[in-house]
Amino acid sequence: MSGLSGGTVLVLGGARSGKSAFAETLARDSGHARHYLATGRAFDDEMQARIASHRSSRGEGWTTHEEPLDLLGRLAAIDDPATVVLVDCLTLWVTNLMLEERDVDAESARLAAALPGFRSMLVFVSNEVGLGIVPDNAMARAFRDHAGRLHQMIAARARTVYFVAAGLPLKMKG
């Protein structure tokens, strides 16, 4: 697929928009060895079920890495020009950073700045959270703001950006 001719791909969309399935198709079509970097944590039964469902729907042929915080370090450790790394998802990573009281803006800037140096094809999945109403509390507003700034930084450096709604990808860049 042309979205993976090299560099970084960002796939944005709302909850249950089909963005993960689309990103998995991009990775499969790349012809490269596939790595799945999961940022989610299974804090409860519902999240455990979601993780199991994602794992099952991906099928075989993936090397899975679970990394809730040190995304940049894990990407560096598995960087290889013969691989595609699907990161699912950036918004869960932002949540994890916030829960650990990390400097989200600094971590985001470090990740974005490092993207041009990676040899792997990188496919980032993230929830677009800025299309709804203004959240009613400070933490939710901070989350929305962190995610929005991160998306802008990644999109600025990405070769290709897609927005997925109702399972339909719209190519926004590239």
pLDDT per position in the chain (174 positions), as tens? 334 446 899 999 998 999 999 999 999 999 999 999 999 877 777 767 776 776 767 778 999 999 999 999 999 999 999 999 999 999 999 999 999 999 999 999 999 999 999 999 999 999 999 898 899 999 999 999 999 999 999 999 999 999 999 999 999 999
User: What are 151's two structure tokens?
Assistant: 């998306």
Q: What is the pLDDT of residue 45?
A: 76
Q: What is the pLDDT of residue 2?
A: 39
CA–CA gap between residue 172 and residue 75 (Å, rounded)? 25
Q: One of 54, 65, 146, 151 is an active-site residue; which one?
A: 54
Q: What is the pLDDT of residue 46?
A: 79
Helix then strand then coil, % of the chain, to nearest 5: 45, 25, 30
- Whether residue 32 lies in the annotated active site: no
Q: What is the pLDDT of residue 6?
A: 63
Kindly report the number of other CB atoms within 10 A of residue 170's CB atom.
Answer: 11
User: What are 8's two structure tokens?
Assistant: 């970084």
Residue where the block lists tokens 């998995």 = 24
Q: Are the beta carbons of 159 and 8 closer than 8 angstroms?
A: yes
Length of the chain: 174
Q: Are strands 62-66 and 168-173 parallel, antiparallel or unpaired?
A: unpaired
Residue 166 φ then ψ, to 5° = 55, 35
Q: Are the beta carbons of 159 and 4 closer than 8 angstroms?
A: no
Q: What is the pLDDT of residue 113?
A: 97
Q: What is the pLDDT of residue 1?
A: 38
Q: What is the pLDDT of residue 49?
A: 75
Q: What is the pLDDT of residue 10?
A: 98
Q: What is the pLDDT of residue 5?
A: 45
